[in-house]
Amino acid sequence: MAAAAASTAVVGPMAAWQLSDSTPSSDNGLLGEGQLREGLLRRWPTAVCEPASPQDKRGFAELMRDYEVSGKQLGDGAYSVVMRGRCRKTGEPVAIKMVPKALDDDAADYKRVQADDEVRREVEMLKRVSMHSCISKFEAYYESKTHHYIVSELVTGGELFDHLAEIGSYSEKQAAALLQELGGAVALMHAQGLCHADIKPENILLTGEGKLKLVDFGLATKAGVKSEVRPGTWAYWPPEAWDVGWGGSLPADMWAVGAILYVVLAGCHPFDPAGNATAEEMVGSSLTPTLTTDPNPGPSPNLSPSPGPGPDH
């Protein structure tokens, strides 16, 4: 699973890509501009790699000027790839998410515009909320004719989901500490009238010291905005999210926080203890819940990755 969240750009699913397998890095482990372009082209063969025009190349050239990009891939989502990098000025390690603007020559133009707007909206959200210590810190943003590049702090402790799958459920003391950190991050967003809209264990990373970092603001939006596309992951939707026209809300974020609290204490999803419910079964369970009452003290065999985005995506 991706170490940082995948973009919500509407460009269609793509096969897994390993840059290090196809594009060897230099002796010092860093990628040159040509190597990175070659890797991006291998990852998205229908994308036109960086144009020759100096004006079109500006975003890519500025990225390479300010940051070194290593051959180490941190994550690979359907719509983005995340690479490890380092700030040339400070030497601090960073994560660099690379999102293509258009991959398919047959894609409708409105989808390309929507994808670009979503990435830019994510950047604006990060600028507004990343001052919180429990939200992944935004570092920089670059845009070229063919790609978006979002630079953020490097979080090395892995996903909360993987941590739960490895060690099992939390004690009440541990869960309370996690809830305090997550609640603080969500409270900052809500104080600005913003909702995350996709809070789930996979979007919570842990630092090497075990501190929580909320990530993936690609679906974040102003509270109460109606939309034909219901944002988020249906396993963490509240019942009202199944209504047409629902577009995210502050209470929906709190519903997801409550579901995560249950997951970390019980080791399974409150409305899918077996880890195999369909969307229809999940909404039925959330409307007429029958919750399991025995917390799982060890690693849970029923803890499954969250399903993909809602059926509207």
The pLDDT of residue 303: 55
Average pLDDT, the chain: 75
**Torsional sign, CA 88, 90, 92, 98:** negative
SS3 content of the chain, % helix, strand, coil (to 5): 35, 20, 45
The pLDDT of residue 12: 25
The one-character DSSP state at 78 is S
CB 45 within 8 A of CB 7: no
Q: What is the pLDDT of residues 127-148, one digit of tens each?
A: 999 999 999 999 999 998 888 9
198 is catalytic: yes
Q: What is the pLDDT of residues 143-196, one digit of tens each?
A: 988 889 999 999 999 999 899 888 889 999 999 999 999 999 999 999 999 999
The pLDDT of residue 144: 86
> Rounded CA gap, 236 and 276, in Å?
14
Residue 275 has pLDDT above 70, yes or no: yes
- Minimum mean pLDDT among 43-57, 129-143, 235-249, 251-265: which range? 43-57
CATH number of 160-287: 1.10.510.10
The pLDDT of residue 128: 92
Residue 221 has pLDDT above 60, yes or no: yes
Residue 1 has pLDDT above 60, yes or no: no
Question: What's the average model confidence in pLDDT over 226-246?
Answer: 70
Level-2 CATH architecture, domain 19-153: 2-Layer Sandwich (3.30)
Residue 86 has pLDDT above 90, yes or no: yes
Which residues share a beta bridge with 38? none
Strand bridging mode 93-100 / 30-31: unpaired
The pLDDT of residue 227: 62
Among 198, 216, 253, 272, the one annotated catalytic: 198
> Rounded CA gap, 20 and 185, in Å?
35
How buried is residue 294: exposed, middle or buried, by Cβ count under 10 Å (0-12/13-18/19+)? exposed
| Residue ranges of the chain assigned to CATH 3.30.200.20 | 19-153
112 — pLDDT class (breaks 50, 70, 90):
low
Question: What's the average model confidence in pLDDT over 12-22?
Answer: 31
The one-character DSSP state at 134 is T
| Residue ranges of the chain assigned to CATH 1.10.510.10 | 160-287
> Rounded CA gap, 267 and 62, in Å?
45
Residue 26 has pLDDT above 70, yes or no: no
Q: Which of 103, 80, 222 is nearest to 151 (CA)?
A: 80
The pLDDT of residue 249: 80
Counting residues of the chain whose pLDDT is more than 70, the rounded percentage is 62
The pLDDT of residue 3: 36
Which residues share a beta bridge with 286? none
The pLDDT of residue 103: 55
Question: What's the average model confidence in pLDDT over 91-101?
Answer: 91
Exposure string (b/e) for 89-122, b if CB count within 10 Å is 16 or more? eeeeebbbbbbbbbbeeeeeeeebeebbebbebb
